Amino acid sequence: MGFDIALIIGRTDEELICPICTDILESPVQSPLCEHAYCRECIGKWIKEKNNCPVDRSDLFHSQLVPASRLMRNMLGRLKIKCCYFENGCAEVLELEDFRSHLASCDHNPKMDIRCTKGCGMKVPKDEMPRHNCVVNLRELVTKQRDEVIRIKEALASQHQRISYHRRELELVQHYITGLRYTNSVVGNIGDQLERFSLMQWGNNLRLAHITNWGSLISTPDIFLHMRIRDGLGASSCPLNLINKIADRCHEERWPEGLLNLNTRRENHHRLMLYVTRILPIFMTGKSCVVMLGCDNTHMPENLRPGVGMAMIFDDGVVEALL
């Protein structure tokens, strides 16, 4: 698709006219054999139907096309063109390379969007503004957006179903692997290594936490908080085989010996600040949840090590650690 020849100011050489659209060449390319030139878009469409030159019918394939010669590009560069909205009052005279960008922003373009000042604030083509009805157009917009929301919800529900299905499949595989680990020491060692690796990968994606108020620790969370931990672990892409292990260790009864009750926690208070903790995101209860992973806390005394990992909920006093 070339530049409208009727808009060109002055004389035009025949060599600068595309033989396909019969307008001035735009993004010109040429055949290396016959040296006929064409608009890039025009010849692209032509070659999809016929593998020959539209002028002399010599063989021509898309891979053979080359940029037009410098002489031809210089000749095109000297041409001047009027804005196609000159009848609407635009007096701009442009070089070809500026023509398309000018049309998009020309104040005389009747299709240029302008913002409605009647109250709705919608962008409407200039020539449609006299017929614009804020209520009708907003109703149409709301209807389209509602339909789009319905479509997205349906797609999301379908995705959730597929995710649930794959999650169940993965859980079955995990149970199978767990069974093998107990019956085969080699598989058991490999499984332990894979578990540690997946735990480290997941943990590295969580932000480090700094606990400023250990007194706000909730050591006996109810079933609701327990389920929120499980949901948070799943939403943060915690490895499926570790979700239950970590979520089930959110109660003091399942914590290491040095954290089993208030008295032991007081005795070890000076060591608690040594824990490396990570913030569990998407925990929407007004509280904060952190996880302590075994791979992060090998430096802790034996009676304070979290095993594979454990979770703790705080009323307040959890902030992101500054590195």
Question: Domain map of the chain by residue range?
Answer: 5-105, 205-320
pLDDT value at residue 38 = 94
pLDDT value at residue 99 = 87
- Measured distance CA(308)–CA(304) in Å, rounded: 12
Q: Report the greatest alpha carbon distance in the chain.
A: 98
- 40, 25 contact by CB (below 8 A): no
The pair of three-digit structure tokens given for residue 256, joined into one six-digit string: 């290491």
- 264, 271 contact by CB (below 8 A): no
- 295, 194 contact by CB (below 8 A): no
- 85, 14 contact by CB (below 8 A): no
pTM of the complete model: 0.46
Torsion sign across C-alpha atoms 176, 178, 184, 188: positive
- DSSP-derived secondary structure for 83-140: -TTGGGT---EEEHHHHHHHHHH-TT-TTSEEE--SSS--EEEGGGGGG--HHHHHHH
- Measured distance CA(292)–CA(203) in Å, rounded: 9
pLDDT value at residue 97 = 87
pLDDT value at residue 258 = 92
Q: Are strands 217-218 and 277-279 parallel, antiparallel or unpaired?
A: unpaired
pLDDT value at residue 29 = 95
- Measured distance CA(102)–CA(91) in Å, rounded: 12
The pair of three-digit structure tokens given for residue 62, joined into one six-digit string: 């898309």
- Continuous H helices in the chain: 40-49, 70-77, 96-105, 134-183, 185-204, 223-235, 240-247, 262-267, 269-272
- 8, 81 contact by CB (below 8 A): yes
Torsion sign across C-alpha atoms 221, 248, 301, 314: negative
- 224, 281 contact by CB (below 8 A): no
- 308, 195 contact by CB (below 8 A): yes
- 90, 106 contact by CB (below 8 A): yes
- 277, 203 contact by CB (below 8 A): no
Torsion sign across C-alpha atoms 311, 317, 322, 323: negative
Terminal-residue alpha carbon distance, the chain? 57
The pair of three-digit structure tokens given for residue 3, joined into one six-digit string: 């530049």
Superfamily for the 5-105 domain: Zinc/RING finger domain, C3HC4 (zinc finger) (3.30.40.10)
pLDDT value at residue 30 = 93
What residues of the chain score a pLDDT lower than 50? none
- Measured distance CA(261)–CA(268) in Å, rounded: 11
